[in-house]
Structure 1
Amino acid sequence: MNDMERICLFPGTFDPITLGHIDVVERAVSMFDKLIIGVGINSTKQPMFSVEQRVGWIGEIFSHDKRIEVMGYEGLTVDICHKLKAQYILRGIRYIADFEYEKAIADMNRMLAPDVETVFLTCSPAYSTISSTLVRDVIRNGGNARLFLPPQVRY
């Protein structure tokens, strides 16, 4: 691996990955040599879908683009960045509330790992109302979540 390679980690639970997440990945990938989608295992969250399902779906969605990789991970995001030699963390922003929450995390990450930069990318307006939380509610209540999901996500 080239030390000058721009590697970015896009961490999240992606439970499930939505069209909004895909929008952010597709728009961000050209900024980096490698974009790693990190499916985080969060002990405080009870996921609807297994890590294996989520990693599988994401791998299938982006299989056509060799710049994009996917992996599950546990622990501090900045520790995973160091392990992967990722200099950037990508975060998608929908609203001001997202920015305030994400900035607090970015500030903490900067204190823990000053060599890792957080990059914020706003989602396209068409996807600003889509969240995995809302999609899970639609699924739990028997609604048609297909409007918000890529076809690879089967539930």
Structure 2
Amino acid sequence: MRVGLYPGTFDPVTLGHMDIIRRATALVDKLVIGVAINRDKGPLFSLEERAAMVEAETASLAKDTGCEIVTHPFENLLIDCAHDVGAAIIVRGLRAMADFEYEYQMVGINRQMDDSVETVFLMAEAAHQAIASKLVKEIARLNGDVSNFVTPAVNAALVARYR
């Protein structure tokens, strides 16, 4: 069984994330969505809320693709999380060159720790390249419309949080 790990904070999960998740299901039999506990980022949504959003948004995708999709909160090193869930592949989404520079460093470090875990980069679809959770939160906080960037359920959660 090919197991992949797609890590992130998913605060909140965006259409860009969902695009990468959908495309990653074609590469693996089981996709673990690693929901990071990143205290330095000061998430808007709790770990439980973020994990629940990811689960809700991926439930129908798992049925449609036949790929098992599970969430897994983690706070340890990414390579250790990959070991914990039995992943041989780490899936990363790229939006721009700035993403690549950071991700390139991460791959080098991860490969030095364990060169048996491969990292696969998926370029975001053109329609999703500008979407970043940080920007989505800022737009929502300032009463802007984020419906082009997130699903209706996530949009409702953002509106509820900021109102």
Tell me the TM-score normalized by structure 1.
Answer: 0.93
Matched, 1:16 2:12: yes
* Paired residue type of 1:53: E
Residue aligning to 2:116 = 115
**In the TM superposition, what is the alpha-carbon distance from 1:43 to its structure 2 partner?**
2.5
CA RMSD of the aligned region, Å? 1.0
The corresponding residue for 1:55 is: 51
Q: How far apart, CA to CA, are the structure 1 residues paired with 2:24 and 2:86?
A: 18
Which one has a larger percent helix, Structure 1 or Structure 2? 2
Q: Deviations over 1:81-106 (max 9, x none)?
A: 11111001000001111111111111
Contact (CA 8 Å) 2:29, 2:68: kept in 1 or not?
A: yes
Determine what percentage of the aligned residue pairs are the same residue. Answer: 42
Find the counterpart in structure 1 of residue 161 from structure 2. none
Give every structure 1 segment of 4 or more consecutive aligned residues whose post-TM-superposition deviation is greater than 6 Å. none
Which secondary structure state, in structure 1, belongs to the residue aligned with residue 26 of structure 2? helix
Answer yes or no: is 1:93 the counterpart of 2:89.
Answer: no
Residues of 2 paired with 1:85 and 1:46: CA distance? 28
**What stretches of structure 1 of length at least 5 have no aligned partner?**
none
Question: Residue type of the partner of 2:99?
Answer: D
2:34 corresponds to 1:33: no
Higher RCO, 1 or 2 (CA under 8 Å, sep at least 6)?
1
1:19-43: CA deviation from partner (whole Å, max 9, x where unpaired): 0010111011111010110110112
Long gaps (5+) in structure 2: 159-163
Which range is displaced more, 145-154 or 86-95? 145-154
Distance of 2:7 and 2:72 partners within structure 1? 10
Instruction: Indicate the residue corresponding to 1:134 in structure 2.
Output: 135
